[in-house]
Amino acid sequence: MFCDEKSKFPRIRFKGFTNAWEQEKLGDLTLLNRFPQISAEKLSELNQYKGDVSLLPSSNNNNWRCSYNEKISHLINYAEVITLGRARNPNPKYAKGLFISSQNHIIESKKNDILLNKFLYFFINKVGRKFYSFENTYPMFTKIDFLNTKFLFPSVKEQEKILKVLNNLDSLITLHQRKLELLKNIKNTLLKKMFI
């Protein structure tokens, strides 16, 4: 669904969309790190795996949450953002609403009328590794590579169509993962009962 720099036209297209995709540098399209963050230890202490506040660690933990309360209200941000870990692995995450982040680069579209955050998230999720330098002991995010990356994107209407398909696929994957876990649990229970 994404296109390459040479053609500016994707191979797969929705009916009715024929225009070339626009191209701009991510530095012209995004804002970086405008929200405060807390330490990884503090974020881990807040985790309850439920609640209305998304917790965004730089690790691959995707289900961290906590409940809103006055004691932590000064730590909470409200926005639609994408996070990338500062080092080792990108572990991209998308959050919309209340969130607290730790040890990430926080990215958001500064032109929501031409680039949707969720569309940007799918792009970053696909190519996130290219923003990391492998010259050190472990990979580090390189801001200059991120800002200079050329990004091709369609009109907002086409982005919305693409997002609808990708979000539906994500929902189906989640549903089938739950079914798979249930079947694994049933199998393990049967094995325990059969081989005491």
Q: Please, what's the b/e burial string for 71-94 (b: 16 or more CB within 10 A of its CB; e: otherwise)?
A: eeeebbbeebbbbbbeeeebbbbb
Give the pLDDT confidence score for residue 151 in this predicted structure. 93
* Lookup: tokens for 73: 């209200």
* Domain hosting residue 178, numbered range: 1-21+154-196
How far apart CA 13 and CA 15 sit, in angstroms, is 6
Q: Tell me, what CATH number does 139's domain have?
A: 3.90.220.20
- Taking only the tens place, the pLDDT of each residue in 135-172 is 777 888 889 999 999 999 999 999 999 999 999 999 99
Tell me: do 149 and 162 sit in the same domain: no
Tell me: do 32 and 61 sit in the same domain: yes
For residue 7, pLDDT beyond 90: no
Q: Does the reported pTM lie above 0.75?
A: yes
Tell me: do 166 and 85 sit in the same domain: no
- Taking only the tens place, the pLDDT of each residue in 78-136 is 999 999 998 788 999 999 999 999 999 999 999 999 999 999 999 999 998 889 888 77
User: What is the total count of domains within the chain?
Assistant: 2
